[in-house]
A and B are shown apart, each in its own frame.
Chain A
Amino acid sequence: MENVLSILFCLSLFYVVVTSRVKAYVTVLRVQGIILAILLMIPFIYHFSIFGIILPATLLLVKVFLIPRYINKVILDLDIKRRIEPTIQQMVFLPIVIASMIVIFLASNILSKSTELNVIPFASGFSAIVIGIYIIMFRKKLIVHVCGFLILENGIFLFGTAVASELPMMIELGTLLDVFVVVFLMGIALNRISNTFEGFEITDLGRLKD
Chain B
Amino acid sequence: MNDLIDSHNVLFIAAFIIQLLSIVFLSIKNERKALFSTNIVLLIGLAFGLISTLSSTLFTSAEISSRNIFSNFIRLDGLSIYFLFIVQLVAIPITIYNFSYLQHYIEQKRPIKNFIIFYLILLISTQFLVIANQAIFFLICWEAMTISAYLAMVLEREKEEVQRGSFYYFATSHVIIFVLYIFFFLLHHLTGSWFFSDYHILFSTGIVVPIIFILSFIGFGIKAGFMPFHFWLPQAHPIAPSVLSAFFSGVMIKTGIYGILRTFQFLNPVPEWCGWLMLCVSIISAIFGVWYALAQHDIKRLLAYHSVENIGIIGIGIGIGFIGSANNLPVVQVLGFGGALLHTLNHAIFKSLLFIGSGVVCQNLETRNIELMGGLVHRAKYIAIFFLIGSVAISGIPPFNGFISEFIIYTGFFKTANELKNYYPIIMLMFVVGLAFVGGLAVACFTKVNSIMFLGNERKEVKHFHTSIYDNSSLGILALLCVVIGFYPQPFVGVVNKVITNGFVKGNSSSALINIDWLYFTVIFSSIALSVFVLYLIKIKLEKKYGRRTSPAWGCGYENLNPRMQYTASSFADELNTIPKSVLVYHKKVEISETAFPLPSKFESHSKDFIDSKIILPLFNFLKLLVGKIEFLSQTDVRYYIAFILIIITIYSLIAFLWV
A and B touch in the complex (CB under 8 A): yes
Does residue B423 face the partner (Cβ distance < 8 Å to A)? Answer: yes
Could you tell me if B579 and A92 are in contact, using CB atoms closer than 8 angstroms?
yes
B430 contact set on A, CB distance < 8 A: 102
Could you tell me if A91 and B579 are in contact, using CB atoms closer than 8 angstroms?
yes
With both chains docked as a complex, state the minimum distance between the C-beta of B176 and any C-beta of chain A, in angstroms.
33
A102 contact set on B, CB distance < 8 A: 426, 430
With both chains docked as a complex, state the minimum distance between the C-beta of B447 and any C-beta of chain A, in angstroms.
22
Which residue on A lies nearest to B423, using beta carbons? A106
Kindly state the separation between the CA atoms of A146 and B109 in the bound complex, as whole angstroms: 73
Kindly state the separation between the CA atoms of A106 and B427 in the bound complex, as whole angstroms: 10
Q: How many residues on the A side are at the interface (Cβ–Cβ under 8 A)?
A: 6
B580 contact set on A, CB distance < 8 A: 92
B579 contact set on A, CB distance < 8 A: 89, 91-92
B426 contact set on A, CB distance < 8 A: 102
Kindly state the separation between the CA atoms of A106 and B426 in the bound complex, as whole angstroms: 10
Does residue A109 face the partner (Cβ distance < 8 Å to B)? Answer: yes
Kindly state the separation between the CA atoms of A102 and B423 in the bound complex, as whole angstroms: 12
Kindly state the separation between the CA atoms of A102 and B430 in the bound complex, as whole angstroms: 10
A106 contact set on B, CB distance < 8 A: 423
Kindly state the separation between the CA atoms of A127 and B423 in the bound complex, as whole angstroms: 19
Which interface class (under 10, 10 to 19, 20 to 34, 35 or more) fits B? under 10
With both chains docked as a complex, state the minimum distance between the C-beta of B446 and any C-beta of chain A, in angstroms.
23
Which residue on A lies nearest to B579, using beta carbons? A91
A89 contact set on B, CB distance < 8 A: 579, 581
With both chains docked as a complex, state the minimum distance between the C-beta of B89 and any C-beta of chain A, in angstroms.
41
Which residue on A lies nearest to B580, using beta carbons? A92
Within 8 A of B (CB), among A121-174: none
With both chains docked as a complex, state the minimum distance between the C-beta of A138 and any C-beta of chain B, in angstroms.
14
With both chains docked as a complex, state the minimum distance between the C-beta of A103 and any C-beta of chain B, in angstroms.
12
Within 8 A of A (CB), among B386-445: 423, 426, 430
Which residue on A lies nearest to B430, using beta carbons? A102
Kindly state the separation between the CA atoms of A91 and B430 in the bound complex, as whole angstroms: 18
With both chains docked as a complex, state the minimum distance between the C-beta of A93 and any C-beta of chain B, in angstroms.
12
Kindly state the separation between the CA atoms of A82 and B579 in the bound complex, as whole angstroms: 24
Using an 8 Å CB-CB cutoff, how does the interface string of A77-104 with B read, 1 for contact, 0 for none? Answer: 0000000000001011000000000100
Kindly state the separation between the CA atoms of A102 and B581 in the bound complex, as whole angstroms: 24
Which residue on B lies nearest to A88, using beta carbons? B582
Kindly state the separation between the CA atoms of A89 and B581 in the bound complex, as whole angstroms: 10
Which residue on A lies nearest to B582, using beta carbons? A92
Which residue on A lies nearest to B583, using beta carbons? A92
Within 8 A of B (CB), among A54-73: none
With both chains docked as a complex, state the minimum distance between the C-beta of A105 and any C-beta of chain B, in angstroms.
9
Which residue on B lies nearest to A109, using beta carbons? B423
Which residue on A lies nearest to B578, using beta carbons? A89
Kindly state the separation between the CA atoms of A184 and B581 in the bound complex, as whole angstroms: 40
Which residue on B lies nearest to A106, using beta carbons? B423
With both chains docked as a complex, state the minimum distance between the C-beta of B573 and any C-beta of chain A, in angstroms.
15
With both chains docked as a complex, state the minimum distance between the C-beta of A109 and any C-beta of chain B, in angstroms.
7
Kindly state the separation between the CA atoms of A106 and B581 in the bound complex, as whole angstroms: 30
Using an 8 Å CB-CB cutoff, how does the interface string of B555-593 with A read, 1 for contact, 0 for none? Answer: 000000000000000000000000111000000000000
A92 contact set on B, CB distance < 8 A: 579-580
Kindly state the separation between the CA atoms of A98 and B580 in the bound complex, as whole angstroms: 16
Kindly state the separation between the CA atoms of A92 and B581 in the bound complex, as whole angstroms: 10
B423 contact set on A, CB distance < 8 A: 106, 109
Within 8 A of A (CB), among B267-283: none
With both chains docked as a complex, state the minimum distance between the C-beta of A89 and any C-beta of chain B, in angstroms.
7
**Would you give 9 A-B contacts (Cβ < 8 Å), ordered by A?**
A89-B579, A89-B581, A91-B579, A92-B579, A92-B580, A102-B426, A102-B430, A106-B423, A109-B423
Closest 5 CB pairs of A and B: A91-B579, A106-B423, A89-B579, A109-B423, A92-B579
A contact set with B: CB distance below 8 Å: 89, 91-92, 102, 106, 109
Other than A92-B579, A106-B423, A109-B423, give 5 A-B pairs with Cβ distance below 8 A. Answer: A89-B579, A89-B581, A91-B579, A102-B426, A102-B430
